[in-house]
Amino acid sequence: MSLKDYKEKRDPASTPEPIGQGPGSRDGLSFVVQKHYASSLHYDFRLELEGTLKSWAVPKGPSMDPSQKHLAVMVEDHPYDYKDFEGIIPEGNYGAGRVAIWDVGTYHSRKSESKEKTESLFKKGLRDGHFAFILYGKRLKGEFALIRLKKDKKNWLLIKKNDELAIKGFDISSFSDSVSKSSKSLKKKSQKQ
């Protein structure tokens, strides 16, 4: 997966965001949701694929309620190391604002727990416009799907499937910004700015 667009939008001398490409996970596949206080608050939903993170900006954030079908706008791939990024992107940089790790965990395809098979099904899902997967996060759990809107390449829906882990009336605002241990120091830094 190409990180050309990602690198063109960032200056490593002026932002703490990771620029390099980590090796990817060895066993399972990672996912992360980052709460991003940029020009408008949104959540970045990222699924690992072949050592990079396929990424969607979700304005209302992910939901555990199957009745809440949220727009997910596909953005540029991010380096695998970005899954650990939490901090402040300085003013004047692309995406300036605070980034917090809202959820983190692993995932696999609904059809297979194998890393290789999941990646194959994910690539097919990106082409076909539908990918169903199981999340094992601290906050997001169970089956979800990404469904592309018509033939549009960027606009998708992120949907929670109606399984035993679904939560009717899920309210994303009832959760703290971060599941990371460093969130207390991050909150103090952002309050000073």
Residue 189: per-residue pLDDT:
40
Secondary structure class of 32 (helix, strand, coil): strand
In a domain, 10, yes or no: no
pTM, to two decimals: 0.89
> What does the pLDDT average to over 19-27?
71
The pLDDT mean for the chain works out to: 90
Q: Which tokens is 10 given?
A: 């960032």
pLDDT in tens, 173-188: 999 999 986 444 344 3
Domain, as residue range, for 50: 30-162
pLDDT score of 20: 72
Residue 116 is assigned to a structural domain of this protein: yes
Q: Who contacts 98 (Cβ-Cβ below 8 Å, separation ≥6)?
A: 36, 37, 87, 88, 89, 186, 190
Residue 23 lies in a domain: no
CA distances (Å), origin 151, targets 129, 130, 154, 156, 167: 8, 11, 9, 10, 30
Residue 132 lies in a domain: yes
* 131 vs 5, more confident: 131
Reply yes or no on whether the pLDDT at 123 is more than 50. yes
Q: Of 41, 49, 45, whose CA–CA distance to 24 is shortest?
A: 49
Query: Is 19 inside a domain boundary?
Result: no
6 pLDDT band, cuts 50/70/90, is confident
pLDDT of residue 23: 67
Q: What is the pLDDT of residue 150?
A: 85
In a domain, 107, yes or no: yes
Answer whether residue 1 is part of any domain.
no
Max alpha carbon distance in the chain (Å)? 47
- Taking the C-alpha atoms of residue 72 and residue 7, their distance in angstroms, rounded to an integer, is 22
In a domain, 92, yes or no: yes
Supply the Cα-derived Rg of the chain in whole angstroms. Answer: 16
Q: What is the pLDDT of residue 191?
A: 39
- Across the range 133-141, mean pLDDT stands at 98
Q: Tell me how far apart the alpha carbons of residues 78 and 55 are, in angstroms, rounded to a whole number.
A: 7
* Residue 127 pLDDT: 95
Tell me how many domains the chain contains.
1
